[in-house]
Chain A
Amino acid sequence: MRIGVYVCHCGGNISEVVDVKKVAAFAEKQPDVVLVRDHEHMCSEVGQKLVIDDIKEHKLDKVVIAACSPQFQGSTFKATLEKAGLSPYVLEMSNIREQCAWPHFDFPEEATEKAKELTSIAIAKARLDEPLTKKTFPIGKRVLIIGGGIAGIQASLDLGDAGFDVYLVEKNPSIGGKMLQLSRTFPTEDCAACILSPKMADVPANPNIHLFTYSEIEDIKGYLGNFEVTVKKKPTYVDPAKCTCCDDCVDVCPVAVPNELDEGLSTRKAIYLASPIAVPHSYVLDDKACLGIFPLACGKCQEVCDPGAINFDVYPEEIKFTVDTIIVATGYDIFDATQKKVYGFGRYENVITALDMERMIVYASEGNPMRPMGKRIAFIQCVGSRDEQVGNEYCSRICCMYATKLSQLLKRSDPTRDIYVFYTDLRAYGKGFEEYYKRAQGDGVKFIRGRPAELIEDSQTNEITLRVEDTLTRNIIEAEFNLVVLSVGLRPNRGTEKIADFLRLAKSPDGFLQEAHPKFRPVDTLTDGVFVAGTVQGPKDIPDTVAQASAASSRAIRLMNRGEYDVDPVMAFVHTYVCDGCGLCIEQCPTNAISLTSRDENSDKSLYPKVAKINEALCKGCGSCIASCPKYALDLHCYTNEQMLAQIKAALADKKDGEVRILVFADDMACYRLADNVGTAKMSYSLDSRIIRVPSGSRISPKLMLQAFSLGADGILLGESEEKSSPYPNSIATIKSNISKVKDILEKEKINGNRVRFVQFVTVMLSGFVNNINSLSDFVRKLGPIPSEGLKRLDKDIDKRLFGESHDK
């Protein structure tokens, strides 16, 4: 083994505090180190060339660079190693700028000592580094889009046009989603059906899109590049190729049921066209409403069908296919206004939802009004939104503007109408929204600030009396209206539940699907290869939905376009010779990446027939499985048990009498970056701390923690990102459970359990980091050293205490 160590001056940033020469001299004495250099600027062209030349000339196989944070120049040096023909994974960086020179600038001697130790930790890890390469997996160009609303349509067209194989699955007989029901769209007042129908027509016209309407997802299994999808297609009993849409069947059908398109305000027949602009444009026989097909009870429609398009002898079809990525665009349901009892929806005939009003306006504008509306109309905002009484804290974002739209459409079509909008806050945040609100005000729509308390129906006239405080004048208003429109909010579509289960998608507290990161990965989910688009992720208007659908398509293309994708080799692996196939790890894995398989009898002889296997396409490399294995058969590339232990030993090796050492296991996402930020801000913290970088604190098993104590650590801090920004699902729960095990064992040996701490950080909590480190340092200093008898007992029987006696049997 030939390790080269480079110590950087960083143009004085490091060398003005840390004695670089001393660090270099220290490194020279370390075993396996064959070359040590110090340089003004390691990251410069000259510095990088130095490394490349040395690797070739001195046949270095490991490189340690003591310089800035690996978060800062790590990728630069990895590329340098690749240029020299080495694996980028044999690079280790000792962070002597952000962790020594900067935070400890007032203590140059101590900072130099710490720099030596950090370098020796890096060397210890480098010694065990494996020359890994990036994993590359093949991927096809097939994508499943769930939901044929405007989000699903947009995503399908984007991907279909880009040449990808699109499977679009919609549960209704026609695509189009909720937008099919709208009158006009705010703030431009385009007719919704007019702008939607050409887009809908583009879907079947696109040769790359396989459209499945009247179909539901039955099952999805697998992972990125290999999702196995089962779709159940309900029979429509009408052959779209033969159907001429002559409407003769509808005339003879004796069954009338509420029409979903009109929110039940009108009726449709059992055989019907889902919408005048339905795509596919063909009739559907609703077998639940039909008088009977098995045995045939009526059959009139078949008798009158000239082209013979109706066939009763058809059955649900099960269709199976495999896709590489998935876009979930299952949309929303409107809030069920009957839940809001004080508004009497469902009991009072003159209280309707805004979606009812959309339909009524569509019919009225065609000169075919559904029902009289009267002259006095009130809109009530925030029904089912921003209301803890119904359990919805969130704002539905679109109701302010659709009420503004509906109110002025009504006012303009009949200026003698009195239209009132009762609101709590009017949010006109989008492009052209404020101007649109102003236009409504100018048209004479009256906006009154106050949330109506209750509606009372006059039993004679069915007029509605509305009671509200005008909160701007502090008067109580009691007014009669002919019609009250509830501006109902959005809630997650019921169908999403099932899909979320199949794909293990998390929900945010509002019940909508959770994106992978609220700022930088807004359409990704934590399940690789699964994206969200539209209102399934949260309430949004049409432009936002379309933008998100295009974003999701582009993210899917990013994965599929090259035909293969790269993954960091930081993944769990199994020491197969130790694994006894107990399967305890399977439950622990948050991405279901572990399974039990039979051993290959020829190459892998063992007493145990089964062995754990990691699916590398699913493993995210958090390492939380490691703690669950009683045999320590599981391990993590780049952060192996041996490497972790070597780093811990190196961190504690130079501990002198009277000194204390706190090991900080800092997760990559938050805590390690935070420590860098603290350093950059030149904020000082306890010199007792040694930061060791891990992908997630859940990688640190209880055994490692106990070993650290018996090797001389006085305190341990696990710093982890908050649950919502963590790339690893369920890591927090694993850490908590690991820590409580460690605490129990420590307490039994009369060692203070608070020597182990767990803190969730965000990268800007600079003083929080400093305070936590300092308080743990003060705490363990006050406690004094750990009594040695307890320590000795700790060393023995660790496994028995963690997993019980019985596991071996």
Chain B
Amino acid sequence: MINKIVITSENVDFLNKISELSDQIITRCDQCGVCSGSCPMIADMDITPSQMMRMVQLGRQEVMESKAMWICASCFACTVRCPRGLDLSRVAEALRQVKLRQAIDYIDINNISDDEIERLPQIAMVSAGRKFTG
């Protein structure tokens, strides 16, 4: 099945937001794919870094549902090779920021099993708890 994409001005807003947060002129990406070829984590990604850039260019917010931006290890291999001088690590970081700011809570402290409490690092418990204070 081929997806149809609808592009509206909301898409541009998303592009502008990510551009501003990452301080990168994302529209300059000419989709050469050097980033993807350079990425040491590519095997674990669902979309390639260049695809991530393309989706941001088109303002497709589904990009935030992808795993790639979480897998990016900020090793900067793409950044040092990008012929357009773009810093993809910062773009991935911007995407992570936007996602995190949605403050979606996956953890209910009451429902954590004893076994999980045993295994979870203390700091994870603290940070999960802090979400409710903001």
* Residues of chain A at the chain B interface (Cβ within 8 Å): 342, 382, 386-389, 424-425, 449-454, 467-471, 474, 476
Contact = CB atoms under 8 A, between A and B. Distances in A.
Contacts of A468: 33, 37
25 contacts: A382-B32, A382-B83, A386-B83, A387-B83, A389-B81, A389-B85, A425-B30, A450-B32, A450-B37, A451-B37, A452-B34, A452-B37, A453-B33, A453-B34, A453-B36, A453-B37, A453-B38, A454-B37, A467-B37, A467-B38, A469-B48, A469-B50, A474-B36, A474-B47, A474-B51
User: Chain A: interface secondary structure?
Assistant: mixed
Contacts of A450: 32-33, 36-37
A451 B47 contact: no
A168 to B, nearest CB: 39
Nearest to B79: A389
Nearest to B83: A387
Contacts of B47: 474
Given A450-B33, A450-B37, A453-B35, 19 more contacts: A386-B83, A388-B83, A388-B85, A389-B80, A424-B32, A425-B30, A449-B33, A451-B34, A452-B34, A453-B33, A467-B37, A468-B37, A469-B33, A469-B48, A470-B33, A471-B32, A471-B36, A474-B50, A474-B51
B85 A469 contact: no
**Which of A424, A452, A469 has most B Cβ within 10 Å?**
A469
B81 A388 contact: no
A470 B34 CA distance: 10
The bracket for how many chain B residues form the interface is 20 to 34
Interface string B16-58: 0000000000000011111111100010000110110000000
Nearest to B84: A388
A467 B43 CA distance: 13
B82 interface: yes
A140 B106 CA distance: 87
Contacts of A474: 36, 47-48, 50-51
Contacts of B33: 449-451, 453, 468-471
Contacts of B42: 476
Contacts of B85: 388-389
Interface string B76-111: 000011111100000000000000000000000000
Interface of B: 30-38, 42, 47-48, 50-51, 80-85
Contacts of A342: 81
Contacts of B30: 386, 424-425
Contacts of B37: 450-454, 467-469, 476
Contacts of B81: 342, 389, 453
A508 B33 CA distance: 29
Nearest to A450: B33
Contacts of A386: 30, 83
Contacts of B31: 424, 471
Contacts of A470: 33
**Which of B30, B31, B34, B42 has most A Cβ within 10 Å?**
B34
Contacts of A471: 31-33, 36, 50
A485 to B, nearest CB: 18
Contact of A451 (B32, B48, B51, B80): B32
A451 B83 contact: yes
A724 B83 CA distance: 26
Nearest to A467: B37
Nearest to B51: A474
A468 B36 CA distance: 7
Nearest to B42: A476
Contacts of A453: 33-38, 81
Contacts of A389: 80-83, 85
A341 B47 CA distance: 27
A441 to B, nearest CB: 20
B51 to A, nearest CB: 5
A208 B38 CA distance: 58
Contacts of B36: 450, 453, 469, 471, 474, 476
A425 B80 CA distance: 21
Contacts of A382: 32, 83
Nearest to A477: B37
A621 to B, nearest CB: 41
Contacts of A451: 32-34, 37, 83
A636 B64 CA distance: 66
Contacts of B80: 389
Contacts of B50: 469, 471, 474
Contacts of A424: 30-32, 83
Nearest to A452: B37
Contacts of B83: 382, 386-389, 424, 451
**Which of B30, B36, B50, B81 has most A Cβ within 10 Å?**
B36
**Cβ-closest 5 pairs across A and B:** A453-B37, A469-B33, A469-B36, A451-B32, A388-B85
A467 B37 CA distance: 6
A451 B35 CA distance: 9
Contacts of B48: 469, 474, 476
Contacts of B34: 451-453, 469
Contacts of B51: 474
Contacts of A452: 34, 37
A425 B33 CA distance: 12
Nearest to A476: B42
B18 to A, nearest CB: 20
